[in-house]
């Protein structure tokens, strides 16, 4: 996989959107920051409340479809989304079956207007795996699994402390941790640090993390209880280790599920430009520098691969990934290269399929 993974298909995905949260109704004190991916240099801000309250959506009853504030048509009467079967990491489910990440949206009606708008935005971009091995270099976003007894470490949040969950976090030391960007002391890139604590099934995620002489520093951080639905755990307008205010780990493609032959959740993906709105399950928006907010879709947008896209001639691993995209789709979580989807950084050896 990785850079040897073929560019599989043009962006001919179908788009489904719940109602759009508009910044004109932003709650008092909503954040004014942007984080995650390439968006930290943009003019991202906290969006408005209201995404959960329209068209039947909410933390306890995730919904897809409904009216879009940017011109999508209402899809009343669509077949309901179906709770999936969440995967496990370290003995912990990756959120409950009814969580947005785990919903089967293969029968949900499509917003044709937004489908065309996204296709116009990205042009001839192709879906691309953003993980793998390039020679000796491993890339992707690793997941650290630690025991409940892992010592807690203080974390200094240098960029957005007002939108971070306070430490300490069970972050391993620099000799034991694995971090996006390889070196915890001279990290390169987004430097996401993900730690899942066994027993409690709490997920701790940081963005722009680095280990210094006085301990861990991150741009910002978020805690997630994987036993509960993810939507609603972040206040409206708050970012997370992702620009959209989402958890990262549940949206990563994992080695074990590809080898097992089934992906049972949505994948996290990026677009270069997004608008100054967000939709459920996101809680935050970002508009990178140079982007017209009238052009991009909102954070939290969900897409799925067309059901009639022929995968029969592809490798078993590729078929597994694309069949998952047909059933669970992908959720727009961050700014970055158009239609790049993320996976864990995991080298297991053995032949590639």
| Nearest Cα to Cα of residue 283 among 104, 54, 23 | 23
CA torsion, points 287, 289, 294, 296, in degrees to nearest 10? -60
At residue 34, the pLDDT reads: 32
> Hey, what are 123's tokens?
């042009």
At residue 348, the pLDDT reads: 55
Helix (H, G, I), strand (E, B) or coil at 100: helix
Q: Where are the domains of the chain?
A: 2-342
Q: What is the pLDDT of residues 306-337, one digit of tens each?
A: 999 999 999 999 999 999 999 999 999 999 99
Q: How wide is the angle at C-alpha 318 spanned by C-alphas 312 and 320, nearest 5°? A: 85
Residues listed for the chain: 353
CA torsion, points 317, 323, 328, 334, in degrees to nearest 10? 50
At residue 301, the pLDDT reads: 93
* CB proximity list for 248: less than 8 A, separation 6 or greater: 141, 192, 194, 205, 240, 241, 242, 268, 333, 342
At residue 347, the pLDDT reads: 57
Does the predicted TM-score (pTM) go above 0.75? yes
* CB proximity list for 286: less than 8 A, separation 6 or greater: 34, 35, 36, 39, 42, 43, 44, 45, 239, 243, 244, 274, 299, 335
| ω into 281 cis (within 30 of 0) | yes
The answer to whether 93 and 86 have CB atoms below 8 angstroms apart is yes
For residue 148, count CB atoms less than 10 angstroms from its CB and return exposed for 0-12, middle for 13-18, buried for 19 or more: exposed
The answer to whether 305 and 327 have CB atoms below 8 angstroms apart is no
Q: Extract the residue ranges of the chain whose pLDDT is less than 50.
A: 1-14, 16-78, 349-353
> Hey, what are 113's tokens?
């207007």
At residue 236, the pLDDT reads: 95
């Amino acid at each position: 996989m990785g850079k040897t993974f073929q560019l599989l298909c043009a962006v001919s995905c179908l788009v489904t959107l719940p109602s759009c949260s508009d910044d004109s109704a932003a709650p008092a004190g909503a954040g004014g920051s942007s984080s995650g991916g390439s968006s930290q240099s943009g003019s991202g801000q906290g969006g408005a409340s209201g995404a959960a309250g329209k068209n039947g959506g909410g933390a306890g009853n995730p919904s897809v479809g409904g009216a879009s504030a940017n011109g999508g048509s209402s899809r009343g009467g669509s077949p309901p989304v179906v709770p999936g079967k969440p995967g496990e990491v370290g003995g912990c489910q990756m959120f409950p079956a009814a969580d947005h990440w785990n919903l089967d949206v293969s029968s949900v009606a499509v917003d044709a207007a937004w489908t065309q708008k996204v296709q116009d935005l990205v042009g001839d971009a192709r879906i691309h795996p953003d993980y793998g091995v390039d020679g000796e270099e491993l890339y992707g976003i690793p997941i650290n699994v630690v025991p409940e007894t892992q010592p807690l470490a203080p974390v200094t949040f240098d960029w957005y402390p007002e939108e971070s969950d306070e430490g300490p976090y069970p972050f391993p030391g620099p000799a034991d941790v694995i971090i996006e960007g390889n070196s915890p002391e001279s990290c390169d890139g987004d430097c996401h640090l993900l730690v899942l604590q066994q027993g409690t099934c709490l997920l701790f995620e940081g963005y722009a993390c680095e280990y210094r002489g006085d301990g861990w520093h991150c741009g910002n951080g978020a805690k997630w209880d994987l036993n509960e639905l993810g939507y609603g755990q972040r206040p409206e307008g708050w970012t997370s280790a992702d620009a959209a205010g989402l958890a990262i780990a549940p949206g990563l493609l994992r080695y074990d599920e590809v080898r097992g032959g089934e992906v049972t959740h949505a994948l996290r993906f990026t677009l270069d430009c997004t608008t100054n709105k967000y939709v459920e399950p996101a809680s935050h928006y970002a508009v990178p520098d140079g982007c017209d907010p009238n052009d991009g879709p909102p954070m939290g947008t969900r897409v799925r691969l067309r059901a009639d896209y022929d995968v029969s001639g592809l490798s078993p691993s590729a078929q597994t990934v694309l069949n998952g995209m047909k059933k669970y789709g992908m959720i727009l979580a961050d700014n970055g290269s158009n239609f790049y989807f993320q996976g864990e950084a995991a080298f297991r050896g053995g032949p590639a399929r």
